[in-house]
């Protein structure tokens, strides 16, 4: 299947999904129609559409408790269907202002098993900070690189994280450490415009991707180590 044709087919399936959701019911005809469209899809395409199903579900409900239930179902489905221990075999994109961004960061922190390297301009979202502390508390090796302009602002969580014993270095040069990325277990990279703040979650137009691409993880990992070494002695 040509790539442009493949994308068109997936877009058509997504539209059919949206139409099916309009009345909140999956009728017999809709089930048969979607089943026939799913049949030729490969594993990666099916995973993409599974994520789309949950995105549509979250978008269709306004109640936060209902969204949490959908997130719980999504987590259980992921645990039951994932291969090996990989969080995901496909890249994903997230956009704010929605709850999806901070929730996804929280999930990545919750599922981290060995290491989390965080390199972000500022951290003020207490919901994310709590997940960082929980990861540190269960033995995950967390390191944080941040910038001095925001680290000492009212509302910054950097001092709190550092006082909990999390190794932290701060760029105190006249320039800014303006990166916003994190690496989880050296297997998943999160990067984009998204600062780890309430404003980014609730007001700003922001984005980040999550990818298992080993080349990108290696590149960002080397950048983290370079900054860590330099800022640790500055």
- Tens of pLDDT along 162-201? 999 999 998 877 788 889 999 999 999 999 998 888 777 6
Phi, psi of 151 (to 5 degrees): -60, -30
- Tens of pLDDT along 101-121? 888 999 999 999 999 999 998
- Tens of pLDDT along 34-66? 888 888 877 778 878 888 888 888 777 767 677
> 26-52 b/e with 16+ CB inside 10 Å = b?
eeeebeeebeebeeebeeebebbbeee
* Alpha-carbon separation of residue 234 from 125, 166, 177, 209 (angstroms): 27, 19, 13, 31
Question: With contact defined as beta carbons under 8 Å apart, do 205 and 171 qualify?
Answer: no
Task: Look at residue 234 in the predicted model and tell me its pLDDT.
Answer: 54
Q: What confidence tier does 155 reach under pLDDT thresholds 50, 70, 90?
A: low
How many whole angstroms separate alpha carbon 170 and alpha carbon 121? 10
Task: Look at residue 98 in the predicted model and tell me its pLDDT.
Answer: 76
Task: Look at residue 1 in the predicted model and tell me its pLDDT.
Answer: 42
Task: Look at residue 150 in the predicted model and tell me its pLDDT.
Answer: 58
pLDDT over 90 for what percent of the chain? 32
112: its two tokens: 């981290």
Active-site amino acid positions: 178, 180, 185
Q: pLDDT at residue 22 above 70?
A: yes
pLDDT over 70 for what percent of the chain? 86
- Mean pLDDT, to the nearest integer, of 60-84? 70
Among 107, 149, 153, 112, which residue's Cα sits nearest to residue 128?
107
How many whole angstroms separate alpha carbon 144 and alpha carbon 119? 6
Based on C-alpha coordinates, what's the Rg of the chain? 20
- Mean pLDDT, to the nearest integer, of 218-230? 92
- Tens of pLDDT along 143-153? 999 887 655 65
Q: What confidence tier does 154 reach under pLDDT thresholds 50, 70, 90?
A: low
Could you state, in order of their start, the residue ranges of all structural domains in the chain?
Answer: 1-81, 91-234
* Partners of 29 in the β-ladder: none
CATH superfamily of 91-234: Endonuclease Chain A (3.30.870.10)
């Amino acid at each position: 299947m040509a790539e442009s044709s493949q994308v068109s087919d997936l877009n058509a399936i997504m539209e059919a999904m949206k139409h099916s959701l309009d009345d909140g019911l999956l009728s017999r005809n809709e089930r048969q129609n979607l089943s026939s469209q799913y049949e030729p899809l490969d594993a990666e395409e099916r995973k993409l559409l599974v994520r789309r199903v949950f995105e549509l579900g979250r978008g269709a409900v306004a109640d936060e408790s209902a969204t949490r239930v959908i997130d719980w179902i999504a987590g259980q489905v992921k645990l039951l269907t994932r291969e090996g221990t990989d969080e995901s075999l496909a890249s994903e994109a997230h956009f704010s202002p929605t709850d999806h961004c901070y929730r996804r960061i929280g999930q990545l922190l919750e599922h981290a098993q060995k290491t989390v390297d965080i390199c972000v301009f500022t951290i003020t979202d207490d919901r994310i900070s709590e997940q960082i502390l929980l990861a540190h508390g269960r033995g995950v090796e967390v390191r944080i690189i941040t910038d001095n302009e925001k680290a000492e602002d009212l509302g910054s969580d950097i001092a709190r994280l550092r006082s909990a014993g999390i190794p932290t270095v701060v760029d105190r040069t006249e320039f800014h450490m303006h990166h916003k990325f994190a690496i989880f277990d050296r297997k998943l990279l999160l990067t984009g415009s998204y600062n780890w703040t309430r404003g980014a979650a609730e007001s700003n137009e922001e984005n980040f991707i999550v990818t298992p691409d080993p080349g990108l993880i290696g590149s960002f990992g080397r950048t983290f180590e370079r900054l860590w070494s330099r800022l640790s002695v500055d």
